[in-house]
Chain A
């Protein structure tokens, strides 16, 4: 198993957000997580990535056989966990290229590989730029500064393509993308799919899922997974909304 989340409970500012969440992900699987606003989807993503203002109060997370919660955020990233942010951050003055070269070399160091110099990196990045049809000047600019909403999202997927992680967590990467960008991002994700690589795709919409066809779909509500199923669950939600499922859960 690549990721095993057991009874995860987490709080922020003394407010409990995750309330006993369970999730198992095997290598190569694509899981979609849907759920109403405020359910805790981004909180789950942040806790997995290691953001320190969340406090884990109970439960465990095993990633590739290790205790994930014991690792610093950078160690998690180096071991192959990747989060595409719901709101990618702007970093004035740090060039996107230097940032990604540093990040790629950090991961390579972990893998015992020699660092890529500027020229090696350019060559390595070239395919990924083409894959996502990135405007080349975005690489020269400061990280996400002055990028449009869609460009920021695409930049995160570009980073994912460069870092070749084992587990990709995409938090609403589809929101704010135009139709063409959505197709490119979906295509990027599909290109990265492999037997070893797994995905957690957080989304509110069916469109992205139509492209990438998740193996499992989960409904997250009030800090817990309240229903899991196959792709058909997406259609059910699209038609009936969350009410029915939430009601069933509350009755149970």
Chain B
């Protein structure tokens, strides 16, 4: 590790110790201490680490992000936030939870006393995450070292929660590390729709580091959308550790529309039979942004079906990274796994690094993966122009259509429409087409 990275590790271990000095929960103290040890031993990944080859942490390790000391922070301008919120808000009914600078904000959120039957939400670290799964990811280890905020959401057996839960995370201050640890537990035959949105005020240079654990019991159904819209100079790391039991269904969608460096990872264990899931994403990057999205899908039992479609649009000299692994255990016969990654480069300086992989130990399976990267087909542009549509508009139409395909996998129509609208707004107003050549 470079001296710079070493110093960053020590800085965050210091913050962890500082948190522990005033911690009353002994379990939390132990968990943080354990993570400190792991972090000190493993450090932050370097370019030599294959999983971080294209997602370089040089800029991150130069920073010394702090954690908010006032909790909740009384200097936050609530009026400014009230004005900031409406354009982001879904137009459909939601259960709204708002975090500001990493702290839950009751004043901005819905009344937690009137939640639908079967749904409980808490903000204490009720249950500690599974250590072994966490250790393989540096940012999950960091998350545990700084364990303090986040939500724990439980849905009881047979409860279908109709109204989506919308968790809005707003970062208002620069130089802060917004460290969130979330737990989602959906019991047998229950149903949940969860939306997690990450935004910052304009110009904010902060770092969001999230771990979301999702436990899906047998026959339960979970739909999730994660929207990342942070300002250009912010960082985003999100590790999702998901496990599914028999006959459950998980559908997750990630929209990456911001940050200088962002990395969204699904670690998905299919620990039962007849499990279905669908993991999809639409990512946009321009200038020197690096947008990284990964999935690690383990088929461990028979008759599992996993579907994936990940699409990137890269402008200027942006870098896209996709890494997907489908692992099929020898017990997982009749597995049906499909993973596709398609990328559109709007400039010749943009780069995509794609690595879809299969590792199969069972013999009766149907698995496929594919990856394709290219620029817009000139014949398509000309066809639209030949019907009177200006070249710029033709490029926008084709690009938007390309990006919207994974959005179709969102199964609730109102969520689909809203997410599609946010993505298309980001694409058409975010300066992706100003670079000239296509």
Pairwise interchain contact B383-A106, C-beta atoms closer than 8 A: no
Tell me the smallest distance from the CB of A137 to a CB of chain B, in Å. 17
Please, could you name 22 A-B residue pairs with CB atoms under 8 Å apart, sorted by A?
A: A50-B386, A53-B378, A74-B386, A74-B388, A82-B386, A85-B383, A88-B383, A89-B379, A89-B382, A90-B380, A92-B401, A92-B405, A93-B398, A93-B400, A94-B397, A102-B389, A103-B387, A106-B389, A110-B388, A142-B401, A159-B387, A163-B387
Closest to B394 in A: A74
Q: Contacts A92-B402, A93-B404 known; A77 to B388 CB distance under 8 Å?
A: yes
Mask: chain B, 22-60; 1 = CB below 8 Å from A; 0 = not: 000000000000000000000000000000000000000
Tell me the smallest distance from the CB of A125 to a CB of chain B, in Å. 14
- The residues of A that contact B377 with a CB separation of less than 8 Å are 89
Among A90, A94, A98, A103, chain B packs the most CB atoms within 10 A around the CB of: A94
- The residues of A that contact B391 with a CB separation of less than 8 Å are 72-74
Q: Does A242 have its Cβ within 8 Å of any Cβ on chain B?
A: no
Which residues 157-189 of A have a CB within 8 angstroms of B? 159, 163
- The residues of B that contact A85 with a CB separation of less than 8 Å are 383, 386
Pairwise interchain contact B388-A89, C-beta atoms closer than 8 A: no
Pairwise interchain contact A99-B387, C-beta atoms closer than 8 A: yes
- The residues of A that contact B175 with a CB separation of less than 8 Å are none
Q: Does A91 have its Cβ within 8 Å of any Cβ on chain B?
A: yes
- The residues of B that contact A72 with a CB separation of less than 8 Å are 385, 390-391
- The residues of A that contact B394 with a CB separation of less than 8 Å are 74
Q: Does A126 have its Cβ within 8 Å of any Cβ on chain B?
A: no
Mask: chain A, 183-211; 1 = CB below 8 Å from B; 0 = not: 00000000000000000000000000000
Q: Does A107 have its Cβ within 8 Å of any Cβ on chain B?
A: yes
Q: Contacts A74-B390, A102-B393, A106-B390 known; A93 to B401 CB distance under 8 Å?
A: yes
A residues lining the B interface (CB < 8 Å): 49-53, 72-74, 76-78, 82-83, 85, 88-94, 98-100, 102-103, 106-107, 110, 142-143, 159, 163
Tell me the smallest distance from the CB of B389 to a CB of chain A, in Å. 6
Q: Contacts A102-B393, A102-B397 known; A91 to B387 CB distance under 8 Å?
A: no
Pairwise interchain contact A73-B380, C-beta atoms closer than 8 A: no
- The residues of B that contact A102 with a CB separation of less than 8 Å are 389, 393, 397
Question: What 20 new A-B contacts, CB under 8 Å, besides A82-B386, A92-B401, A102-B389?
Answer: A49-B386, A52-B382, A73-B382, A73-B386, A73-B391, A74-B390, A88-B383, A92-B402, A93-B404, A94-B398, A98-B397, A99-B389, A99-B397, A102-B393, A106-B387, A106-B388, A106-B389, A106-B390, A107-B388, A163-B388
CA A181 to CA B382, docked complex, whole Å: 26
CA A85 to CA B398, docked complex, whole Å: 19
Q: Does B358 have its Cβ within 8 Å of any Cβ on chain A?
A: no
Q: Contacts A89-B379, A91-B380 known; A77 to B386 CB distance under 8 Å?
A: yes
Mask: chain B, 394-429; 1 = CB below 8 Å from A; 0 = not: 100110111011000000000000000000000000
Among B377, B379, B402, chain A packs the most CB atoms within 10 A around the CB of: B379
Pairwise interchain contact A77-B387, C-beta atoms closer than 8 A: yes
Tell me the smallest distance from the CB of A84 to a CB of chain B, in Å. 10
Pairwise interchain contact A74-B379, C-beta atoms closer than 8 A: no
Pairwise interchain contact A91-B382, C-beta atoms closer than 8 A: no
CA A159 to CA B377, docked complex, whole Å: 21
CA A110 to CA B397, docked complex, whole Å: 20
CA A142 to CA B404, docked complex, whole Å: 13
Q: Contacts A91-B383, A93-B404 known; A103 to B389 CB distance under 8 Å?
A: yes
- The residues of A that contact B378 with a CB separation of less than 8 Å are 53
Closest to A46 in B: B382
Which residues 337-387 of B have a CB within 8 angstroms of A? 377-380, 382-387
- On chain B, which size bracket covers the interface? 20 to 34
CA A126 to CA B401, docked complex, whole Å: 25
Among B377, B379, B384, B398, chain A packs the most CB atoms within 10 A around the CB of: B384
Ranked 8 nearest A-B pairs via Cβ: A93-B401, A106-B388, A103-B387, A77-B388, A73-B385, A89-B383, A94-B401, A74-B385
CA A93 to CA B376, docked complex, whole Å: 13
CA A1 to CA B386, docked complex, whole Å: 22
Which residues 263-296 of B have a CB within 8 angstroms of A? none
- The residues of B that contact A51 with a CB separation of less than 8 Å are 382
Tell me the smallest distance from the CB of A82 to a CB of chain B, in Å. 8
Closest to A98 in B: B397
CA A96 to CA B352, docked complex, whole Å: 30
Pairwise interchain contact A93-B383, C-beta atoms closer than 8 A: no
Among B384, B386, B398, chain A packs the most CB atoms within 10 A around the CB of: B386
Closest to A143 in B: B383
Pairwise interchain contact B402-A93, C-beta atoms closer than 8 A: yes
Closest to A93 in B: B401
CA A90 to CA B388, docked complex, whole Å: 17
Closest to B397 in A: A94
Closest to B392 in A: A74
CA A77 to CA B402, docked complex, whole Å: 25
Closest to B390 in A: A74
Tell me the smallest distance from the CB of A107 to a CB of chain B, in Å. 5
Among B388, B394, B398, chain A packs the most CB atoms within 10 A around the CB of: B388
CA A163 to CA B387, docked complex, whole Å: 8
Pairwise interchain contact A91-B384, C-beta atoms closer than 8 A: yes
- The residues of A that contact B386 with a CB separation of less than 8 Å are 49-50, 73-74, 76-77, 82-83, 85
Closest to A106 in B: B388
CA A83 to CA B388, docked complex, whole Å: 11
Closest to B405 in A: A93
Closest to B383 in A: A89
- The residues of B that contact A74 with a CB separation of less than 8 Å are 385-386, 388-391, 394
Closest to B403 in A: A93
CA A14 to CA B402, docked complex, whole Å: 34
